[in-house]
Chains A and B, each alone.
Chain A
Amino acid sequence: MPNLTLMKENLLTFFYFINKLYQDRSILWTMIKRDLRARFIGSFFGFSWSVIDPLTQVLIYGVVFGLFFKSQPDPVFGTNSYILYLVCGILPWQFFAQSVTASTGSIVTSANLVKKAVGFPSEILPVIKVMSNLISHLIGMLILILIIAIFHGASFYIPFIFVYMLPTLMFAIGIGWMVAGLNVYLRDVQQVMHLVLMAGFFFTPIFYSPSAVPEPILTLLSLNPMFHAVIGYRYALLTGRMLPLGSLAYLLITSFFIFGLGGIFFRKLKPGFAEVL
Chain B
Amino acid sequence: MKAGQDAMLRESPGAVLDKDPAPDLAVVVRNLSKIYKIYDTPADRLKEVLNPFKKNYHRDFWALRDVNLEIPKGITFGIIGQNGSGKSTLLQIIAGILRPSSGHVEVKGRISALLELGAGFNKEFTGRENVFMQGAIMGISRKEMEARFQKIADFADIGHFINQPAKTYSSGMNVRLAFATAINVDPDILIVDEALSVGDAMFQRRCYRKIEEFQQAGKTIIFVSHGLGVVTSICTRALLLDKGKMVEIGESKRVVNLYTKILSEREEAYAKRLSGGQQKEPQKDERLQSASGLKPQSTSEFRFGSGEAEVMDCVILDEKGEKTRILQMGHIYTVRFFVQFRKEVHAPIFGLVIKTLNGIEVGGTNTMYEGMNPGSFKFGDNVNVEFKFKSPLNPGEYALSVGTSEIEKDGIRPLDRRIDLIVFRVMGKRQFAGLIDMNFEINAKLAKE
Contacts and interface: CB of A to CB of B under 8 A. Distances in A.
Interface of A: 8-9, 12-13, 16, 23-24, 26-27, 30-31, 34, 38, 110, 112-121, 186, 267, 270-272, 274-275
Contacts of A34: 122, 124-125, 129
Nearest to B182: A118
Contact of B123 (A31, A112, A115): A112
A12 B8 CA distance: 11
Contacts of B36: 275
Interface residues of B, number: 41
16 contacts: A8-B1, A12-B1, A26-B141, A30-B129, A113-B120, A115-B97, A116-B97, A118-B13, A118-B95, A118-B120, A118-B137, A119-B110, A119-B111, A119-B138, A186-B46, A271-B7
Contact of B8 (A16, A38, A114, A271): A16
A127 B246 CA distance: 42
A115 B120 contact: yes
Interface in B1-31: 1, 4, 7-8, 11-14
A113 B122 contact: yes
B119 A116 contact: yes
Nearest to A275: B98
A27 B97 contact: no
A118 B97 contact: yes
B119 A30 contact: no
Contact of B111 (A16, A115, A118, A267): A118
Contacts of B191: 118
Contact of A116 (B13, B118, B124, B142): B118
Given A24-B136, A26-B142, A116 B115 contact: yes
Interface in B23-80: 36, 46
Contact of B98 (A31, A120, A121, A274): A274
Contact of B12 (A110, A112, A119, A267): A119
Closest 4 CB pairs of A and B: A117-B120, A116-B120, A119-B13, A27-B136
B169 to A, nearest CB: 12
A119 B14 contact: yes
Contacts of A23: 139
Given A12-B1, A27-B133, A115-B97, A120 B120 contact: yes
B49 to A, nearest CB: 9
A2 B200 CA distance: 62
Given A116-B119, A272-B99, A274-B97, A121 B8 contact: no
B121 interface: yes
Contacts of A13: 4
A275 B89 CA distance: 10
Contact of A9 (B1, B122, B123, B137): B1
Nearest to B12: A119
Most chain A beta carbons < 10 A, residue from B1, B137, B139? B137
Contacts of A275: 36, 98-99
A65 B113 CA distance: 58
Contacts of A26: 136, 141-142
A118 B125 contact: no
Contacts of A114: 97, 120
Interface of A: prevailing SS:
helix
B132 interface: yes
Contact of B11 (A30, A116, A121, A274): A121
Contacts of B290: none
B109 to A, nearest CB: 12
A186 B46 CA distance: 9
A24 to B, nearest CB: 7
B92 interface: yes
Contacts of A272: 99
Residue of A114, A119, A271 most packed against chain B (CB within 10 A)? A119
Contacts of A31: 122, 133
Contacts of B98: 274-275
Given A31-B133, A110-B122, A116-B119, 8 more contacts: A113-B122, A116-B120, A118-B97, A118-B113, A118-B137, A121-B11, A274-B92, A274-B98
Nearest to A271: B99
A31 B133 CA distance: 8
Contacts of A270: 11
B340 interface: no
Contacts of B137: 27, 117-121
A184 to B, nearest CB: 12
B437 interface: no
A75 to B, nearest CB: 50
Interface string B284-316: 000000000000000000000000000000000
A110 B133 CA distance: 14
A227 B96 CA distance: 41
Contacts of B139: 23
A117 B137 CA distance: 9
B220 interface: no
B96 A118 contact: yes
Contacts of B138: 119
B405 interface: no
A82 B294 CA distance: 93
Contacts of A38: 124
B116 interface: yes
Residue among B1, B4, B110, B116 with max Cβ neighbours from chain A (10 Å) = B4
Nearest to A116: B120
Contacts of A119: 12-14, 96, 110-111, 137-138
Interface in B169-197: 191
Contacts of B113: 116, 118
Contacts of B99: 271-272, 275
Contacts of B115: 115-116, 118
B134 interface: yes
Contacts of A116: 97, 113, 115-116, 118-121
B112 interface: yes
A38 B125 CA distance: 10
Contacts of B11: 121, 267, 270
Contacts of A12: 1, 4
A113 B122 CA distance: 6
Contacts of A110: 122
Contacts of B124: 34, 38
A214 B113 CA distance: 60
